[in-house]
């Protein structure tokens, strides 16, 4: 939804995104209304309202569902799909909340804690998904986000331990992620290997390598307790309602991830370099024709994606948990990939997706209080939503046109 987008549209060989812009139609209104109702269905069962039966919520959710479906049928797939998702979310949440004791609810739904937890869970995903965005916008599929995060997680802990400072940890972690990304770049860009096979191999490699070094260095004792960690930022916002309380003590990297979203947006969508990056991802031949080096841009993008994903991993080990354990990322790289797709390869959409997934994680952490089963369902939510998104129910998620296609110069 930007000016440069129209320039890229000119480069696009595939069609644009239907329903991304244009006048606000009746369908879109219905869709947004459905989203709002879906959320309301959940909210009325929570403090401070605490409706003790799920029936009203089901009714509201049903209305939201109907609105969503009619909106989809009217051609407004994206917002309508959002309404359908919100309706399901509302019904599920209402069921959970109304089947639990009021005292439990107070424990689970402390809004400020939940918001803070959401931001914490979203941070590693945001960094990694931004890495994925930079790489895929240049036309290189990056399935190795998981591996790059893991490298960042271990080497940040290792570096923080050896250098005695968290800054050193972050730098070493980022370098490790970039090293893995450089291998990805060599194989995917210069050797023109299948990018998904390479990424898969690198995930295994990172898993084995970090596990090996961790066992070899720290053995049975684990990482030291006094690991230097990324500091928290204390803000005097406690008096400003639950949002204020939520953000009064967040890790520096949480803020860093939000800044990174803005920076990536500016670089990719508002700068000359970004225009080149996107044109290489959409139509490399045309980009090469006007003198852009496809290889240089792609190398830069993939290595930058390694640094970003590694930051996400570093936050996990020295910002959040303050230790490292084997296979610490536990699939977060793939959730980040899901967020990237769900957010349609755009920084804003990606952030919305990581916050949503972060929220479902935060809920899942607290729900075992009264229902382990529901907690599990919330853990699976990101994957289900992504499955729905790529299936094109919520409007087709279209990757950059040349995403995953190795580039060969003319005449070779």
Partner 1 sequence: MSEQTPPVPPNDLGPQGATVGARMGIAMKAGGIVAPILTVLFAFLIGGLVVLITGHNPIDTYKAIFDGTGLQWLFPWTTGADRDTAAINLQQTLLVTGPLILLGLAVGYAFRAGLFNIGGQGQYIVGSIVAVWSGSSWAGMPHVLHVVLCMILATLAGAFWAGISGFLRAVTGANEVITTIMLNWIAIWLGVYLFSLGGPLQNDAQPDVPISNDVVSGAKLHVFWGDPELQGLHIGIFVALAAAFVYWILLNRSTKGYEARAVGFNPEAARYSGIKVGRTYVLVMATCGALAGLAGSLDVLGWQFHLATNDIQGTQLAFYGIAVALLGRNTAIGTCVAALLFGALLNGTSVRNLDPAVFEPELAQNLTTVIQGLVVLFVSADVLILMIYNKLRIRRKRPPGATAGEPVEVAA
Binding site for partner 1 (CB under 8 A): 143, 183, 187, 189-194, 196-198, 200-209, 211-213, 215-216, 293, 295-296, 299, 326, 331, 334, 337-338, 341, 372-373, 376-377, 379-380, 383-384, 386-387, 390-392, 396, 404, 409, 412
Q: How far is the CB of 234 from partner 1 (least distance, A)?
A: 36
Q: How far is the CB of 251 from partner 1 (least distance, A)?
A: 26
Neighbours of 241 (CB within 10 A): 11
Structure tokens at 393: 């129910």
- 131 in helix, strand or coil? helix
Q: How far is the CB of 157 from partner 1 (least distance, A)?
A: 16
Q: Give Cα separations from 269 to 10, 266, 277, 282, 389 (angstroms).
A: 15, 5, 9, 14, 23
**Using an 8 Å Cβ cutoff, are 173 and 159 in contact?**
yes
Alpha-carbon distance 28 to 18, whole Å? 13
Q: How far is the CB of 338 from partner 1 (least distance, A)?
A: 7
Q: What are phi and psi of 232, to 5 degrees?
A: -85, 150
Q: How far is the CB of 185 from partner 1 (least distance, A)?
A: 9
Per-state percent for the chain, helix, strand, coil, to nearest 5: 70, 0, 25
Q: How far is the CB of 409 from partner 1 (least distance, A)?
A: 7
Q: How far is the CB of 246 from partner 1 (least distance, A)?
A: 27
DSSP H/E element including 233: strand 232-234
Closer Cβ to partner 1, 196 or 252, answer by number? 196
Closer Cβ to partner 1, 23 or 219, answer by number? 219
Q: How far is the CB of 255 from partner 1 (least distance, A)?
A: 29
- 249 in helix, strand or coil? strand
Alpha-carbon distance 345 to 132, whole Å? 9
Cα of 149 vs its chain's centroid, Å:
13
Neighbours of 14 (CB within 10 A): 11
Q: How far is the CB of 278 from partner 1 (least distance, A)?
A: 20
Max Cα distance, the chain (Å): 71
Residues contacting residue 15 through CB under 8 Å, at least 6 positions apart: none
Structure tokens at 228: 């230097």
Structure tokens at 73: 């049928």
**Using an 8 Å Cβ cutoff, are 339 and 129 in contact?**
yes
DSSP H/E element including 380: helix 372-390
**Using an 8 Å Cβ cutoff, are 341 and 357 in contact?**
no
Alpha-carbon distance 307 to 184, whole Å? 13
Alpha-carbon distance 268 to 271, whole Å? 6
Q: How far is the CB of 336 from partner 1 (least distance, A)?
A: 12
């Amino acid at each position: 939804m930007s000016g440069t987008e129209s320039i890229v549209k000119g480069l696009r060989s595939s069609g644009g995104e239907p329903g991304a812009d244009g006048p606000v139609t009746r369908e879109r209104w219905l869709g947004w209304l459905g989203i709002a109702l879906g959320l309301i269905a959940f909210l009325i069962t929570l403090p401070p309202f605490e409706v003790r039966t799920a029936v009203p919520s089901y009714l509201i959710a049903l209305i939201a569902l109907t609105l969503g479906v009619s909106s989809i049928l009217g051609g407004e797939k994206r917002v309508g799909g959002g309404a359908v998702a919100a309706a399901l979310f509302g019904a599920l949440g209402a069921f959970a909340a109304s089947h639990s004791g009021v005292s439990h609810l107070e424990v689970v739904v402390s809004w400020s804690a939940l918001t803070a937890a959401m931001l914490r869970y979203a941070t590693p995903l945001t960094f990694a998904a931004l890495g994925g965005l930079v790489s895929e916008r240049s036309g290189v599929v990056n399935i190795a986000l998981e591996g790059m995060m893991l490298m960042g997680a271990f080497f940040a802990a290792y570096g923080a331990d050896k250098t005695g400072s968290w800054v050193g940890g972050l730098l070493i972690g980022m370098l490790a992620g970039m090293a893995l990304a450089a291998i990805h770049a060599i194989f995917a860009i210069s050797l023109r290997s299948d990018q998904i096979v390479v990424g898969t191999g690198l995930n295994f490699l990172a898993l084995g390598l970090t596990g090996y070094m961790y066992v070899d260095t720290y053995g049975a004792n684990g990482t030291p307790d006094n690991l230097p960690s990324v500091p928290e930022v204390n803000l005097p916002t406690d008096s400003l309602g639950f949002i204020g309380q939520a953000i009064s003590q967040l890790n520096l990297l949480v803020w860093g991830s939000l800044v990174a979203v803005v920076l990536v947006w500016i670089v990719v969508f508002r700068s000359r370099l970004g225009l080149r990056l996107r044109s290489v991802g959409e139509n490399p031949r045309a980009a090469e024709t006007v003198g852009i080096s496809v290889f240089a841009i792609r190398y830069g993008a993939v290595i930058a994606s390694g640094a970003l994903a590694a930051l996400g991993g570093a936050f996990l080990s020295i910002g959040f948990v303050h230790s490292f354990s084997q296979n610490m990322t536990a699939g977060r790289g793939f959730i980040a990939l899901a967020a990237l797709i769900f957010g349609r390869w755009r920084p804003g959409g990606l952030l919305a997706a990581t916050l949503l997934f972060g929220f479902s994680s935060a809920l899942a952490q607290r729900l075992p209080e009264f229902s382990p089963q529901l907690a599990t369902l919330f853990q699976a939510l990101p994957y289900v939503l992504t499955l729905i998104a790529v299936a094109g129910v919520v409007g087709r998620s279209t990757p950059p046109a040349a995403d995953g296609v190795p580039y060969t110069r003319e005449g070779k």
